Amino acid sequence: SQQGEEDPQALSIQEGENATMNCSYKTSINNLQWYRQNSGRGLVHLILIRSNEREKHSGRLRVTLDTSKKSSSLLITASRAADTASYFCAGSGAGSYQLTFGKGTKLSVIP
């Protein structure tokens, strides 16, 4: 079963625009991690946000977490063509260290 569910499934924007991807999850989490994946291979870790945090920044990335709504969002500002990839959220639940992933959002940034 999938913990996270990303929305939208696909997103196409112009270079320089902001991209927002959303993630909803089903059960309580200890933390939520966001990853980027190029060409269906290795995942690059972007940000981990703890369940007691509401917002976190890293460079052009901003992640928010709303545990009352069981949702998170990833904002990429001033997008670049190199940001083209699939983005996944993954939750780690109580008593477990495994990550449960959604299906991902496929982002295309058009130069």
If the CB atoms of residues 33 and 79 are measured against other proteins, the closer one turns out to be: 33
Q: CB neighbours (10 Å) of residue 46? A: 18
Q: Which is nearer to other proteins, 10 or 81 (CB)?
A: 10
Do 24 and 7 touch, CB atoms closer than 8 A?
Answer: yes
CB nearer other proteins, residue 71 or residue 104: 104
Burial of 49 (0-12, 13-18, 19+ CB in 10 A): buried
User: Binder to other proteins among 73, 79, 84, 92 (CB under 8 A)?
Assistant: 92
Per-position x/- string for 42-81, each x denoting binding to other proteins as judged by CB under 8 A, each - no binding: xxxx--x-x-------------------------------
Residue with tokens 């089903």: 26
